[in-house]
Structure formats: C-alpha cells, structure tokens
Structure 1
C-alpha cells in the first residue's frame, strides 16, 4: 500500500489517553472528600496492579524516581556499596543510587536492543557490588535469564527499573510464547506513571515485589517511617513518598484500559516498521524473540547513510510539526558523574548519538504515521555520481534554497531549454512556491542536486500527492553546464528509489516527442510511452514493483 499522508497539525511525541473512568473516579474522590494519600482508590490501584504484573505486593508512591530510592533503601544498599546499572537510561536510575550513598558502576548496552549487554556484566563486578538495576529500555525487555544467572552466581540483588516497560513481557525459553511480565523477575521492581508513560496518574510510581519483608519496609519508608500499628511513632527515618487517592483513581482507570493501550502501541510500531523499512540510513526498533514489546516509544537510529545528522533531522521534523526526542545521554557523561571512573561504554555513546524517539501514543492515527514517514523520506540526503565519478548531493528544497533556485531558473530561461517538460514557469514566483510547499508539510516533493561547491546541477520533483493522485508525476531539469554527464539518468534512478521508499508502485513522466535523448534514458529504465491528449507530448509510465 502506498503512503498517502495528509498534512498534519502539530504531532506531539507523547500524549495521555483519558478514555475510561478517570473523570468518574476523580469526581468520586471529590464527592467523598478523600483527596489525599488515604482512600479506597489507593488500595484498589495497588491490588489491580499487583494482579496485572503477577506479584504479591504493589505499593504506590509519588513517582518513578522515589520508587527506585525506596527499592534501594528496602534492600539495605548503603554508603560504600556498588550498584551496577546501564549508562544508557534516564538519569533517575543512577541518581537513586547516589541518594543512598552507594556508587553507580555503569554497564554498556547491546547494539540491537539497547539494553544491558549480559556479556559485559561480570567484568564490572567487585567485592563491593551488592545489586544490579536493569532497565527495560523503551519497552524492550532485557535478557533476563542470562542476567538472573549472573546475579545468582555473584549473590546480587536484582532491581527491575520497569518505568518504560509496563505491559512488556520476557518470554522464558521453552514456554512456547508464554511470558512473565517485566517487573516480576527481580527481587524488587519499580514503575513510573508520568504523563508520557503507557498509563499515567499525572505523576506517580509503584514498587512491586514478592518478598513480604521488602514490602513491609517500603510501606514503612514511604509513609515518613511511621509504625503501621502505632500512629505517629517513627522508628526509622522515612520519607513522604505517598501517592494521593486522586492520582490513584486516575491510575486505576488507566490500568483498566491497559490492554487497549498496549494493542494500539504495537499497531503503531508495525505501521512505523512498514512505512520506514525502505529508507536507507534508518535502523528500526526491533522485537527479539524473547520479548513481547509494549513500545513505550517507537525509536529509530539515524545512521551516517541517511545523510542528515540526528539533531539536524529533529529540528527539520519540528518545522513540519513533528515533535521527537533524542535518546538519553549516557549518564557517565553528565557533570555529576564524570569524576567516577568509567570504561567500556562505547556502544552506549554511539547509540545515544543516533537515537530518536518518534511520536507514540494511543490517539496517533495511521495518517499521522504516514505523514511522519513521508517527511523522513523527504528529508533524507542521498549521493549520486556522474559518468566521471563526481559526486552530487540530492536534498529536498528548504527555505535557504530560494535565491539559489531563482538563479537556476534564470539560467534555464536564458538558455531557452524548452525540451524539459515542467509544469511551472521558470521564475521567482515558482521558486517561492516550491520553497513554500516544501516548508509547509505538504506532500509534493521537490529536490535539488548539488555539486561539491553546492551549485545546483539539477532539480526534480515528484508531485501530485497533494491532489490525491496515486501515481506521482516526475519532472526533471538539468543545468546546461552539467548536461551530457549522465546526471539525468542518475536523478531518475534516485526518483524511482524515493518512490520505493514511499511504497509507491508507479510513477509517470511527460516528455516532448522531439526529446529523443530523454526518451532513450527513460526507456532504458523500463518506462513505456504512449501519446498524450496534448499535441507533441508523450506520457511515460513505470511499474516500480
């Protein structure tokens, strides 16, 4: 199926879906005056959550960061201890280790899943190592069996930071597709309910465990250390890390729709993978055979072959109304952590430089996914070569190209190159119109072909998308100084490749009957020609697949 994207208004990278009982439950809190950290919805949310994850205990708290802090406190991690954790994750993972006075020791990630590489764990273990925090990054589960074996061998606590993996599963070997929820493997696990997560309570977190003693400690610590049997008696230093009844009401209503949310995210991931798979220079999110991916975020890597660096691409997408976010910076590069000794984290640094999270949320439509994919096709830069091997950059027209395009059109008019079929006149008005279309988020595509001094050697378009045509019309103009170098054919081959990226199965071109050279080039690329309804014109058509 070809992409037929419609121009879109601003598309955020994330947006909550309040589609269930959120309002009803919150109004119940207001009606009954139970709006603080005591109330039935706190208990209901905890019970429903523990059942969903498949664990004995679930304890609400005020956010995902304090959930990690509580987990480490409950395990007794303290000053002088070392805790292993990934460097490619949100900074809260490591900050929580510093909160208890321990030292974070950073682990490198795998190139494909972007999660902790189990093969690199044991080299970082010392006599001081007491625990490992694993993060199921962006929703893809870590390789839990290998990690658990290493932890057992070295007597390490396992803390699952599942903030990004609610609904994700790890499929145990030999279980024929049956899996356990992320968050149910470690000694203790944490979740976040920030506004961009799979479910939200505005702000909020959860600590889960199967260990009765750990659950008691978390319950004590999150409530100012107050004895549950002796009110206002505080036997330990505690914290005010409670979640309110109102937030729990929202969280419960969200959890009731978790199946819908996960199903939609997985559908969005399939759409992205389908529409982006033909774009060279983009590495797609994957789903290993041992995971059921919840796709908190659908992420891609921007490789060198894409021709535009990651940060520049994000800026260009923003201009088209598409919000994205970069991957996390490796924590070991942050000022607060640079004084610690680090080594062997090269993969994490590389992945961080390349990574982009694309819009992923419940209300994201297929038209919006198509539009995002269309822009990723349009913004890619390519390289072509002429007969002598000289290289040329192929790039989409942008706002900085208007003067250059005007000068190019003046040359075309001056040389009276009427053998090029072009739907617009070669003038300033046309140049401005082309720039406006390219910058507006419309779907028609206009490209420049630049030499090594950034002079325009050629220009081409694929138009008709905005009129709703299934077959784009191709038009090309080559600068007279660059003719007879084979550029025209290479540009046409590039246009065909762009159509393939767009999943367009056909394209058409119009030529004048007396332009024998152009006809010869197009026929060599398998275009077939027929008479147009206009005098002296031929229509060429190509079946791309």
Structure 2
C-alpha cells in the first residue's frame, strides 16, 4: 500500500511468517482440531503475560461468558459493566440470563469509575467486569478495584480484549500484565487486535481450579481429553490448530508490534499538537500499548466525512450501551454519552507509515483551519 492509497481505519497484518507456520502444519497431516499447536500458543500467551494458566477459545465474547460461568454467575445475577465498551462485554453475561448493570467511565481513561461501581453494588451483584479501554488502567489504579473486590467478596473479571502488551504499575517489584489483577482475565484475537487469529479469545488465571474448570467448560464438560464421559455441563468452544499456527507467528511479532504501536501514537501526538478541534486520549507509553488511536472531535461527523472524501478511513467510537436499542435502559452516564457523540478512532493499523500519519494529521489540521 503506497502512502497515497486509501488508508483504512484498521486492517490485520498476515504475511510470510503465518504462511510458513500454516504450510508446516499442513505437511503434518493433522486433524486441525486443537492439539499441540494450541498448547504452544497458550504457553506463549501465559509466558508473555506472566500468568500461570492460559485457556484459548473460539472468540473473545465466549471467553467472557466462560469466565462468568466458571465463577458461578447465572440467571438473575447482576454483573457491573462500563457503559462505554464494545457490546460483547454485557452481551457475554446477558447470554447466561444474568443482568448487566451499567456505570459510567472516567473521562480521561474511559475505564470504569470505581466509585460509581461501588455505588451500583446490590445483593445480586456477582461480579465486576472491568474493561481496560485501549490498554489504559483506571486513574485510581488497579489496586482500588482489587480492594473493592476483596472488601465485598465480589470477583473481578478483566475484559482485557484491547490490552495485550499493556501493564499495570501498582508498586510491586515486578509489573503485572493487564488481565492479571482479576480472578480471570480475557483477551480477544479478532481482526483489529494487536495480534489476530481471525477470531479467538484467551483466558488467563493463576488459579489452578479455575483453569481446570475453564478447560472442561470449553470441551463439553468432559472428564478427560478424547473421552465421552462428562461430569459437568459444558459446550464446544474449542480453538483450531490453524488458528494456533497463525497465533504463534503473530506472538513472535508482538514485541515489535508493541514498539510500532507506541511510535504511531507518538507521531499522531506530534502531528496533532496545536490542532484545537481533535484531542487524543493520553497514554503512559511506558505501560500502555494503544490498540486504536482514540480521541474526541469537534463536528465529528463532518470531520469523518472530510477525511473519507480524501481517502482516509475513520470509525466512530462505541455509543453508550444503555441507549442502544439492544438494551434501551434509563440512566445518566455523561462520559459514555459524550464519547458516543464525539469519539472518533483514526487509522490505527500496524502497517501505517509515518508519511501516512503525517497526511492524516495534515488533513485534520486543514479541516479545523477552514
């Protein structure tokens, strides 16, 4: 793609490494269903995040659902969720007959406000589902959510779908990867993520019993691999070896992708300095790896149309979930509502060149100067 071609907001990057992994596996005449390559992929994610266990599944919504099931959440229970998130977060528990309870997010991080989460707790609350928006940690620190969980006995599930490559700085001797503060952390490998297997999700935990339960839940509740003896209810949410081949190749590229994602954000920050109409959300790049380039725009829809006419793709950020027809609930969540009005993702793919970023920033500056 040349610097003058249409610039999409996002596209995955697959190439020679993925092809080599796939062809190598095809030469083995395998069954395609998850086996040794999947185990290797899980081991790589566990190693990278520092988790004791990793369990991969077919997508990142199912991973959240299985996390909830493993923690005993079911019909009639309540799960506190941020009003600003991808709709998979609440849908994952709605599928179980549980009820998502929405709270607003912090204006500078777009992560759930811990004080509002505490106010939303009722006797029916069975989990808090914390979303690390674009890899960011809560302003109050993850320790505030851990303390709330410990004080109330309500488990914390981390929806870290956007956060592979991001870390918590919580005063410990060693940093913890985002997703490791909760009882279970969940990641997504859908097409726009920093690494992708097309679709896919992963669960990490340091709890041996939870890991064993998750493995049973994703494999029909089997008592052991390859048999038809079932000592619990379960479903078929397994991975495939083909996805694992792609994932292994992508994991080898992850350190370089983290470096490039941070460089992309820096280039945007430099290029948009002094442009009053578009404000990037900040990142501590020593800890956070931006998944998308996110910000709020004056006259957002006009800006998006201007950029599209000049060969630049954008994407509006998530609207507040409580106002979407799928939920249509009362509530006042001003931060989420503002993002629904003004939030705009700029091109964020790993393939972006510096020249393309400069072109994008130039067009944004020209729009607001007109």
Same topology, TM > 0.5: yes
- Measured in 2, the distance between the counterparts of 1:355 and 1:242 equals 35
How far has the Cα of 1:252 moved from its partner?
1.0
Correspondence for 1:163 among 152, 161, 164: 161
CA distance 1:8–1:76, shift in 2 (3 Å)? same
CA contact (8 A) 2:3 2:353 kept: no
How far has the Cα of 1:34 moved from its partner?
1.9
- Measured in 1, the distance between the counterparts of 2:37 and 2:351 equals 26
CA contact (8 A) 2:70 2:210 kept: yes
Instruction: Give yes or no for the alignment of 1:228 onto 2:218.
Output: no
- Could you list the per-position Cα deviations for residues 464-491 of structure 1 after superposition, in whole angstroms to 9, with x for gaps in the alignment? xxxxxxxxxxxxxxxxxxxxxxxxxxxx
- Could you list the per-position Cα deviations for residues 270-327 of structure 1 after superposition, in whole angstroms to 9, with x for gaps in the alignment? 00000001101221120259x7111100111113xxxxx1122112211111111111
**Which has the larger share of strand?**
1
CA contact (8 A) 2:60 2:200 kept: yes
Q: Larger Rg: 1 or 2?
A: 1
RMSD: 1.7
- Provide structure 2 residue ranges, at least 5 long, that are not aligned to the other structure: none
SS of the aligned residue for 1:380 comes to helix
How far has the Cα of 1:360 moved from its partner?
1.2
Instruction: Give yes or no for the alignment of 1:194 onto 2:184.
Output: no
Instruction: Give yes or no for the alignment of 1:375 onto 2:370.
Output: no
- Measured in 2, the distance between the counterparts of 1:28 and 1:352 equals 45
Correspondence for 1:365 among 329, 353, 357: 353
Q: 1:304-323 residue pairs with structure 2 within 5 A?
A: 309-323=299-313
Instruction: Give yes or no for the alignment of 1:121 onto 2:117.
Output: yes
Partner of 2:280: 284
How far has the Cα of 1:21 moved from its partner?
2.7
How far has the Cα of 1:145 moved from its partner?
1.1
TM-score scaled by structure 2? 0.95
- Measured in 1, the distance between the counterparts of 2:41 and 2:128 equals 28
- Structure 1 residue runs of 4+, over 3 Å off? none
CA contact (8 A) 1:35 1:244 kept: no
- Provide structure 1 residue ranges, at least 5 long, that are not aligned to the other structure: 1-5, 304-308, 382-394, 396-545
CA distance 1:45–1:102, shift in 2 (3 Å)? same
Correspondence for 1:150 among 148, 151, 169: 148
How far has the Cα of 1:72 moved from its partner?
0.6
How far has the Cα of 1:230 moved from its partner?
7.2
CA contact (8 A) 1:282 1:302 kept: yes
CA contact (8 A) 2:34 2:238 kept: no
TM-score scaled by structure 1? 0.65
CA contact (8 A) 1:29 1:35 kept: no
How far has the Cα of 1:115 moved from its partner?
1.1
Partner of 1:261: 257
Correspondence for 1:326 among 316, 322, 342: 316
- Measured in 2, the distance between the counterparts of 1:357 and 1:135 equals 18
Q: 1:200-239 residue pairs with structure 2 within 5 A?
A: 200-228=196-224, 231-239=227-235
